[in-house]
Amino acid sequence: MEKSKIDMFMGMNYENFMPDDLMKIKEKLEKMDDDKIFLFQSIKFRKPSIILILAILGIERFWLDDIFLGILKIILSFCIVGLIWWFLYLFSAKKRAKRHNFKKFTQAISFL
């Protein structure tokens, strides 16, 4: 793939992935044909900066397409276990969003 297209994709999405995942993504993009970059430009990645707000509200699991755990978290939020769970997830929210984005990217690549 053309270097300018890879750089454009990486520049637009650098905050959506972990640094080590960015290197893996770059390697995979370099091996692809030029016409397939449009497939990845249409993917809507989750913004890690927004997930923190959703984690405070306790609804980030729904945003990360994990409906069962989202419902369980809301039900448990009325007891001590749920409050501890909510507090711990505040600190890992951005990391989970970046992992979700990388999983989405790898799923899209597996269809090619």
Contact at 8 Å (CB) between 46 and 98? no
The residue type found at 15 is E
pLDDT confidence of residue 16 = 92
Q: What is the pLDDT of residues 69-91, one digit of tens each?
A: 888 888 887 788 777 878 888 88
What is the model's pLDDT at position 101?
Answer: 93
Query: Rounded to the nearest 5 degrees, what angle is found at the Cα of 17, between the Cα atoms of 87 and 20?
Result: 105
Provide the residue-wise pLDDT of the chain in tens; the chain has 112 residues.
678 888 888 888 889 999 999 999 988 888 888 777 777 777 889 899 898 888 888 788 888 888 898 888 888 877 887 778 788 888 888 999 999 999 999 988 887 6
- In this predicted structure, what is the pLDDT of residue 112? 64
